[in-house]
Amino acid sequence: ADNTVYRASTTAPVNIAVVKYWGKRDAKLNLPTNSSLSVTLAQSDLRTLTTASCSATYPEGDTLILNGEPSDVSGARTQACFRELRARRAALEAADPSLPKLSTMPLRIVSENNFPTAAGLASSAAGFAALVRAIANLYELPASPSELSLIARQGSGSACRSLFGGYVAWRMGEKADGSDSLAVQVAEASHWPEMRALILVVSAAKKGVSSTSGMQQTVATSGLFKERIATVVPKHMEAMEKAIKERDFATFAEITMRDSNSFHATCADTYPPIFYMNDVSRAAIRAVEQINDAAGRTVAAYTFDAGPNAVIYYLEQDTDIVVGTLYSVLGAGIDGWKQSIVESLKQPAVT
């Protein structure tokens, strides 16, 4: 009998969208109502490290340890990822009977985040990207990052973008089976090496309304949302890709801020309204406006996910005016800033 424990480890970074994914057209397959675009925060401390192992000697059933705690694997999202990865491994085993039958063995996943879970810091993105790549490595699947993104998407939509470093688009696709709803790299991180991101952690508490139920409520009750997906996002996607290609920070920043505002406006337009930003978040918006006004050009851009924490994009050469001013404006006057993490985007994320 084969008593071997087969094992593979990987890490995946978080990504922060500059054109937001918000809304599902198919909740089961995690198919989005719109395309989105993000920056992968590579070389950062915001990562998930995951080890996947399997063995015929493991007791029955797949298990997951998340940050040291046994975690549920029976959820439909996790099950979908396991099922897709096992099916691909089973196909390899059918084609080559000399391969060990890993697809039939229980899986044991051990995963650590080094940042607060579910605090609007995209933990599910890094988490499912790492989970899918760890198992794909364990199974020795000959899959490209875009192919793996199709699987990670079913775990958490935004996770499909964490399979790539740099600037990443998630193309919404058209097909009902989701086979064309995948992530592609728009540009390497090295294309724009001066890009930096600063994360202002307002609160590390778990967010109030999950992205899944927030999206569901927005799609069901917001009229503004229809306008967002029909005209606003397509325009933002086109302008953002052009701005990235041309390394045009002023346009990159304006679209980033407009898209964040548009997303949060649709949340406020739901019934009842959803508020992810708080007073401290709004103070960060004012501070960025002040910095840009004082500089006489756009040197900083804010964006917020489904939580109160701000991500500020800026260029390396403007570090002093952006970071210096933020610390003095926000640090002195507001109690809410628990910690701040300076991110560097120097290297591509995927190893």
Residues of this chain that interact with ligand PMV (CB under 6 A) are 17, 20-22, 36, 122, 124-125, 156-158, 211, 305-306
DSSP reduced 3-state for 139? coil
The nearer residue to ligand PMV, 138 or 172, going by C-beta atoms, is 172
- For 325, residues 6+ apart whose C-beta sits below 8 A from its C-beta are 287, 290, 291, 294
The nearer residue to ligand PMV, 305 or 343, going by C-beta atoms, is 305
**Helices in 203-272 by DSSP H: which ranges?**
211-221, 223-227, 233-245, 249-268
Question: In whole angstroms, how close is the CB of 140 to ligand PMV at the nearest point?
Answer: 27
The nearer residue to ligand PMV, 156 or 181, going by C-beta atoms, is 156
* Number of alpha carbons in the 13 Å side-chain half-sphere of residue 58: 20
DSSP reduced 3-state for 319? helix
Cβ neighbours around 62 below 10 Å, total: 17
By the 10 Å C-beta count (0-12 exposed, 13-18 middle, 19+ buried), 60 is classed as: exposed
The nearer residue to ligand PMV, 206 or 297, going by C-beta atoms, is 206
- The alpha carbon of 31 is separated from its chain's Cα centroid by a whole number of angstroms, namely 15
Question: In whole angstroms, how close is the CB of 60 to ligand PMV at the nearest point?
Answer: 30
DSSP reduced 3-state for 84? helix
Tokens of 151: 């699987």
Question: In whole angstroms, how close is the CB of 267 to ligand PMV at the nearest point?
Answer: 9
The nearer residue to ligand PMV, 200 or 291, going by C-beta atoms, is 200
The nearer residue to ligand PMV, 53 or 262, going by C-beta atoms, is 262
Question: In whole angstroms, how close is the CB of 24 to ligand PMV at the nearest point?
Answer: 8
Question: In whole angstroms, how close is the CB of 36 to ligand PMV at the nearest point?
Answer: 5
Report d(CA 303, CA 284) in Å as an integer.
Answer: 10
Question: In whole angstroms, how close is the CB of 162 to ligand PMV at the nearest point?
Answer: 10
